[in-house]
A and B are shown apart, each in its own frame.
Chain A
């Protein structure tokens, strides 16, 4: 049997505990309180100090998502160097794969959210492909800027295929967009491919252009969606957020307005994006946006532009290499909307419900931040 980390064992134990409780059918209001009491009692008996929110979130989730349509797991932003350069990011990626493989039942598929490599090198991408190969569930790949700007995606495409594609799954139409195009800032400056990559890799490097889907990508999206009925739930996978959060760090999609306009005709649209390395949600018109966690490091929240519906995750403990990082799941509901589980390593997971976003924050507010950003 493969070695399991302490965290993995902890999550497995906890998951099976709550599954058992759910099976007991103890999910009426009275049962809910009973279960909360029982679990607190068990925690006390084990000598564990369990934060207040732990039991309540999990049980509420068990109650509402008793019949989820299906589940997708995600891993994102692994930023791999080669093992020789940096083994820590490699261990984090392996840990995420191990966790996803431990899910029972297995997700329908696993989304990789982009930035597999740190500097787009062939060896980095190959290493990533090798690690992700261990996943038991099918894998859907998305490209990030760190994978792209050394050779403009050549090696990535040779490993994983086209950077834009769509597919249908259990009544939901999925689209993966290449949303980290940048206008040419390198030719005029006489940059080498390595310099171009290094520039894009720096979040606070003002020289680079802003991310965009670009006119060709938007046309492709329009064509892809032309035959899709407006009642069909649509889920977009995109590395950049497809809205405008903070320009200086490229937490930003320059042609977000145009892309959102293409998505406006659908009743139910969710955007799942990478790049921002933090618990991040937004709602604009009919579209719910969910950011993904990174396995490599968390980004601080930007000094301005944070969507008002985002409840910040607690700031990371710098002394713990895994804190603020993680992976997670997308529970696709029968309605086609998504409950998003942020599986923060070394912390209680946080679930952001579709209801929370569609009610504009009135219902199902996630647990409050206790350690805000400075």
Chain B
């Protein structure tokens, strides 16, 4: 039973360049002259007016399935050559090696039951945050600086930022510091801007970029 009823309505967008700091795209739905419900597909273009159903009306499962099917039919007509990856196919069992006994049925739970397609979508979301961090790292204005200095001028490719060594006692500050404390120190001093709040998305993005540049380096907190 486990995957047969997965409703694969989510059509992922064609992976475009990471757009920094924008809101998610919104589908502007056409309005119905009769005040009927209009349902949009997540491609941002395709939509369908449901005759006789007003916004807020209860629908049966069958009605919902029909609407989804109709939208998908239209999308497939518009994209006859699109590769439509079905989630169930992605998670098909790995090729069985000859001479190796097939394992007993695998454990299953809903958490962790992700596919290669899921993994790619998540990777892209993560890379988008890293790319945003890279943009800020290279942009004195985005850093809020006042002297046209950006991080990359002293740290090309985020070199010599050594995020793997934090937390550590930062002698010059007289206390234990995290990477973000040093990011904010640099923003205040060489860059002459205002430090970012702990939940500032720019600070998160900078941390993401700096950490991504040190992928594979062993953590070694406290190192001097």
User: How distant is the Cα of A321 from the Cα of B154 in the complex, in angstroms?
Assistant: 11
User: How distant is the Cα of A249 from the Cα of B149 in the complex, in angstroms?
Assistant: 18
- A118→B190 contact, CB < 8 A: no
16 contacts between A and B (CB under 8 A): A81-B148, A86-B149, A87-B147, A118-B148, A202-B138, A204-B156, A204-B157, A297-B154, A298-B154, A300-B159, A302-B159, A303-B157, A315-B160, A318-B186, A373-B160, A374-B160
Q: Within the complex, what minimum Cβ distance (angstroms) separates B189 from chain A?
A: 8
Assuming the contacts A118-B148, A202-B138, A373-B160, asked whether A319 and B154 have C-beta atoms less than 8 A apart, the reply is: no
Given A86-B148, A204-B157, A302-B159, 18 additional A-B pairs, CB 8 A: A81-B147, A85-B147, A118-B148, A203-B153, A203-B156, A204-B156, A249-B156, A298-B154, A299-B154, A299-B156, A300-B160, A303-B157, A303-B159, A317-B172, A318-B172, A318-B185, A321-B190, A373-B160
Q: Which of A87, A298, A315, A374 has the most chain B CB within a 10 Å cutoff?
A: A374
Assuming the contacts A248-B157, A374-B160, asked whether A203 and B149 have C-beta atoms less than 8 A apart, the reply is: no
Is A363 located at the chain interface by the 8 A CB criterion? no
- Report which B residues bind A (CB closer than 8 A): 138, 147-149, 152-157, 159-160, 162, 165, 172, 182, 185-186, 189-190
User: How distant is the Cα of A318 from the Cα of B190 in the complex, in angstroms?
Assistant: 9
User: How distant is the Cα of A302 from the Cα of B154 in the complex, in angstroms?
Assistant: 12
* Residues in chain B near residue A373, CB distance under 8 A: 160
- A88→B152 contact, CB < 8 A: no
Closest chain B residue to A298, Cβ basis = B154
Assuming the contacts A204-B156, A204-B157, A299-B156, asked whether A319 and B148 have C-beta atoms less than 8 A apart, the reply is: no
Closest chain B residue to A303, Cβ basis = B159
* Residues in chain A near residue B172, CB distance under 8 A: 317-319
Closest chain B residue to A119, Cβ basis = B148
* Residues in chain A near residue B156, CB distance under 8 A: 203-204, 249, 299-300
* Residues in chain B near residue A317, CB distance under 8 A: 172
Q: Within the complex, what minimum Cβ distance (angstroms) separates B130 from chain A?
A: 14
* Residues in chain A near residue B148, CB distance under 8 A: 81, 85-86, 118
- Report which A residues bind B (CB closer than 8 A): 81, 85-88, 118, 202-204, 248-249, 297-300, 302-303, 315, 317-319, 321, 373-374
User: How distant is the Cα of A124 from the Cα of B208 in the complex, in angstroms?
Assistant: 35
Q: Which of B138, B156, B162, B185 has the most chain A CB within a 10 Å cutoff?
A: B156
Closest chain B residue to A204, Cβ basis = B156
- A204→B152 contact, CB < 8 A: yes
* Residues in chain A near residue B165, CB distance under 8 A: 374
Neighbour of B152 across the interface among A86, A202, A302, A303, CB < 8 A: A202
User: How distant is the Cα of A341 from the Cα of B54 in the complex, in angstroms?
Assistant: 83
User: How distant is the Cα of A374 from the Cα of B165 in the complex, in angstroms?
Assistant: 9
- B153→A297 contact, CB < 8 A: yes
Closest chain A residue to B160, Cβ basis = A300
Closest chain A residue to B217, Cβ basis = A374
Q: Which 4 A-B pairs have the closest CB atoms?
A: A300-B160, A374-B162, A204-B156, A86-B147
Closest chain B residue to A86, Cβ basis = B147
* Residues in chain A near residue B138, CB distance under 8 A: 202
* Residues in chain B near residue A374, CB distance under 8 A: 160, 162, 165
Closest chain B residue to A198, Cβ basis = B138
* Residues in chain A near residue B185, CB distance under 8 A: 318
* Residues in chain B near residue A204, CB distance under 8 A: 152, 156-157
Q: Within the complex, what minimum Cβ distance (angstroms) separates B186 from chain A?
A: 7
* Residues in chain B near residue A203, CB distance under 8 A: 152-153, 156
Closest chain A residue to B223, Cβ basis = A374
Q: Within the complex, what minimum Cβ distance (angstroms) separates A339 from chain B?
A: 29
* Residues in chain A near residue B157, CB distance under 8 A: 204, 248-249, 303
User: How distant is the Cα of A32 from the Cα of B96 in the complex, in angstroms?
Assistant: 78
User: How distant is the Cα of A318 from the Cα of B149 in the complex, in angstroms?
Assistant: 14
Q: Which of B155, B159, B189 has the most chain A CB within a 10 Å cutoff?
A: B159
* Residues in chain B near residue A315, CB distance under 8 A: 160
Closest chain A residue to B137, Cβ basis = A204
* Residues in chain B near residue A87, CB distance under 8 A: 147
Q: Within the complex, what minimum Cβ distance (angstroms) separates B112 from chain A?
A: 35
User: How distant is the Cα of A86 from the Cα of B148 in the complex, in angstroms?
Assistant: 7
* Residues in chain B near residue A319, CB distance under 8 A: 172, 189
User: How distant is the Cα of A363 from the Cα of B156 in the complex, in angstroms?
Assistant: 34
Q: Within the complex, what minimum Cβ distance (angstroms) separates B83 from chain A?
A: 30
User: How distant is the Cα of A203 from the Cα of B152 in the complex, in angstroms?
Assistant: 8
Q: Within the complex, what minimum Cβ distance (angstroms) separates A240 from chain B?
A: 16
